[in-house]
Structure formats: C-alpha cells, structure tokens
C-alpha cells in the first residue's frame, strides 16, 4: 500500500541524487567489474547495497525525501538494467519520502521515447537520469534529441552526470568509459536546443567546474546538484556561486549509498554558506524544481 504524499513542510532536506543499485531479485545495476571499481573509488568495499524499501526507511528516519533512479547503459556495457517500472512501483509504495526518476538509454531510439512517455504517464516518473560516459554517447548527439523532446513535452527533468566518474576507475582502459562525454559544455547544446527542458548537472564537474557554473548561469533551466563529493572538497568557485548567482539553482544531493546524507550534511555544516542560502540548497530549490513546493 502506498504511503501519503510528501509533506514538504515536515522535511529537513530533499536529496536529489540517490541510486537504486540492486533489484528485488538481486540483480545489480552494474557489472561486477564496474561495480567493484566504483566501490574502490568511493572506499565503499563491503558496503551492503540497500533495497528501495530500505532506502525509504533510511530517509524517513531522517525526515528527508530522496529522488531515486538507476542507470540504463545496456547498449554500451551489455549489462541489463534494473527495471524502471520496479523502481517507480517501489517508490510509489513509499511515496511519503521517495520520488521516482527513470533511466532510458538514448540508444534505444523510438522504443526509448515510447518508454519515457509510458513511465511518466502511467508510473508518475518525475525525471530521467543520463550518464553519458557509461551510456557511451555525447549529450548533444542528435540521436538523443527525440528522447529530450519527449521529456521536455512531458514536463519531466533531465539529470546528467557530469565530470569524472568512479565507475571504471582503475580498470584497464577505464572499462572503456570515456570521460569526454560528461563535459557539461555538451549539455549546454541541449539546453540551447530545448529551452523548456529542465536540466540538472550532477556533481561538482571536475575537471570542468567552471564550465558547469557558466552553463547554469547562462541557461535559465539548468541547475547543479552537489552529489558525489563531500562538501569539504568543493572548489571555492562552486561555493562562491552557490552563495550568490546560483543560490536558487543549486541542489543538495548525496550519491547515496556511496556517500551518505549523514556524512554530506555533517561536512556541509562546516561550509561557508550564508544562513539564508542553506535552506534553499537543502530543500527549497528542489521542492520548487520537483513541483513539491507548497507556496
């Protein structure tokens, strides 16, 4: 049975970046080689992967809500994805704290466009996660444009991984993963060609942090989430822009389970963020972007 809808007023924070990494039948979202490389990169070896129900309990206990998604990269990796329907249905069972996103590999073509429409219209999916480096495509490749067009028309959000990735790190050849596809300047083309598409650039975009800031300042619909890094390691220019020009467009994200919101928030407490900006980053900006705001 589904829970009540999210009560934003009772929330401490909204985490816009968490992963569903294991399905109910035990299938993982990555191959053992890539999963192991990611665990090594984030020093998370031996860390148990939570189910979506366990993720819901974790966030409910902390009075937080969380966006949940997996990554569909079957074309490039040959590894079957976790079902988007399973993620959405599991989130619906915990609708008081979980917000479903999906992931559709752009290489799926017209079938992917149909799937995206179905996921929004029948399953209440609010957005779509893209990981260009793992999916093996450039965000500005016209091949992906029909999918963006559908997402824009549906009023959903496109969240793009940007910058370096721990997935494939240390594996020979990086597991074939090409970092160049996660340059945020490639997403600038998408924002220009789809001016109504709401976009999130995920992570401090090393080594392209300045580029990400420039895109978010220049394009009205582009936001930045702060996941994947402890705030103590944020580049100074990211902190400066979060405090000023981008104070309404920067979002709390952890990258759970590889980085917990407990650790992220503890480190965020020590960051030089203006008192009036903190609630924007932790909750208000995400509530508005996700259509959860009560005002």
The pair of structure tokens assigned to 122 is 């029948």
Bridge partners, 251 (sequence order): 225
CA distance 247 to 231: 16
- The tally of domains found in the chain comes to 1
Asked if residues 220 and 179 have their Cβ atoms less than 8 Å apart, the reply is: no
Bridge partners, 224 (sequence order): 201, 250
**Over residues 79-103, mean pLDDT:** 96
pLDDT of residue 232 exceeding 50: yes
- Domain assignment present for residue 137? The answer is yes
CATH of the domain at 252: 3.20.20.140
- Domain assignment present for residue 265? The answer is yes
What local confidence, expressed as pLDDT, does residue 36 receive? 58
Instruction: State the alpha helices, DSSP H only, in 125-270.
Output: 132-135, 145-154, 184-193, 209-218, 236-242, 261-268
63-72 pLDDT, tens per residue?
999 999 999 9
pLDDT of residue 258 exceeding 80: yes
The pair of structure tokens assigned to 51 is 């189910």
200-221 pLDDT, tens per residue?
999 999 999 999 999 999 999 9
111-161 pLDDT, tens per residue?
999 999 999 999 999 999 999 999 999 999 999 999 999 999 999 999 999
Task: Kindly report the number of other CB atoms within 10 A of residue 232's CB atom.
Answer: 12
- Domain assignment present for residue 233? The answer is yes
Helix (H) or strand (E) holding 188: helix 184-193
Asked if residues 10 and 294 have their Cβ atoms less than 8 Å apart, the reply is: no
* 3-class DSSP assignment, residue 231: helix
163, 78, 197, 23 alpha-carbon torsion, rounded to 10°: -100
72-85 pLDDT, tens per residue?
999 999 988 999 99
Helix (H) or strand (E) holding 209: helix 209-218
CA distance 67 to 85: 15
pLDDT of residue 247 exceeding 70: yes
Return phi, psi of residue 81, to 5°: -80, 165
Of the chain, the percentage scoring pLDDT greater than 70 comes to 89
- Domain assignment present for residue 185? The answer is yes
What local confidence, expressed as pLDDT, does residue 1 receive? 40
Whole domain around residue 134: which residue ranges?
8-289
- Domain assignment present for residue 192? The answer is yes
Question: Which of 287, 276, 221 has its CA nearest to residue 252?
Answer: 287
- Domain assignment present for residue 3? The answer is no
Cα 71 → chain centroid: 10
Helix (H) or strand (E) holding 129: strand 127-130
- Domain assignment present for residue 295? The answer is no
Residue 22 DSSP one-character state: B
Helix (H) or strand (E) holding 57: helix 52-61
What local confidence, expressed as pLDDT, does residue 25 receive? 61
Asked if residues 290 and 68 have their Cβ atoms less than 8 Å apart, the reply is: no
- Domain assignment present for residue 165? The answer is yes
What local confidence, expressed as pLDDT, does residue 266 receive? 97
Residue in this structure with the two tokens 């903190």, named with its chain if needed: 278
Q: What is the pTM of this model?
A: 0.93
pLDDT band at 26 (very low <50, low <70, confident <90, very high): low
């Amino acid at each position: 049975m589904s829970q009540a809808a999210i009560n934003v007023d009772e929330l401490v924070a909204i985490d816009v970046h968490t992963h569903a990494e294991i399905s109910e039948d035990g299938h993982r979202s990555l191959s053992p080689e890539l999963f192991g490389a990611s665990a090594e990169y984030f020093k998370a070896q031996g860390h148990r992967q939570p189910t979506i129900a366990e993720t819901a309990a974790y966030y409910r206990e902390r009075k937080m809500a969380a966006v949940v998604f997996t990554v569909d990269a079957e074309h490039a990796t040959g590894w079957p994805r976790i079902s988007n329907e399973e993620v959405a249905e599991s989130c619906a069972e915990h609708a008081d704290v979980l917000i479903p996103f999906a992931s559709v590999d752009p290489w799926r073509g017209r079938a992917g466009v149909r799937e995206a429409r179905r996921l929004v219209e029948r399953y209440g999916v609010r957005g779509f996660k893209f990981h260009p480096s793992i999916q093996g495509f450039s965000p500005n490749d016209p091949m992906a444009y029909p999918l963006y067009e559908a997402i824009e028309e549906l009023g959903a959000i496109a969240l793009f991984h940007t910058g370096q990735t721990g997935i494939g790190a240390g594996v020979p050849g990086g597991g074939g993963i090409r970092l160049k596809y996660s340059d945020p300047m490639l997403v600038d083309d998408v924002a220009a060609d789809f001016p109504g598409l709401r976009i999130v650039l995920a992570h401090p975009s090393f080594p392209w942090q300045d580029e990400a800031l420039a895109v978010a300042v220049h394009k009205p619909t582009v936001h930045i989430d702060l996941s994947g890094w402890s705030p103590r390691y944020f580049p100074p220019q990211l902190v400066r822009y979060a405090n000023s020009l981008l104070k309404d467009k920067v979002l709390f994200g952890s990258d759970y389970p590889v980085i917990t919101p407990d650790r992220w928030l503890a480190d965020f407490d020590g960051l030089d963020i203006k008192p009036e900006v903190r609630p924007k980053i932790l909750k208000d900006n995400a509530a508005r972007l996700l259509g959860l705001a009560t005002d």
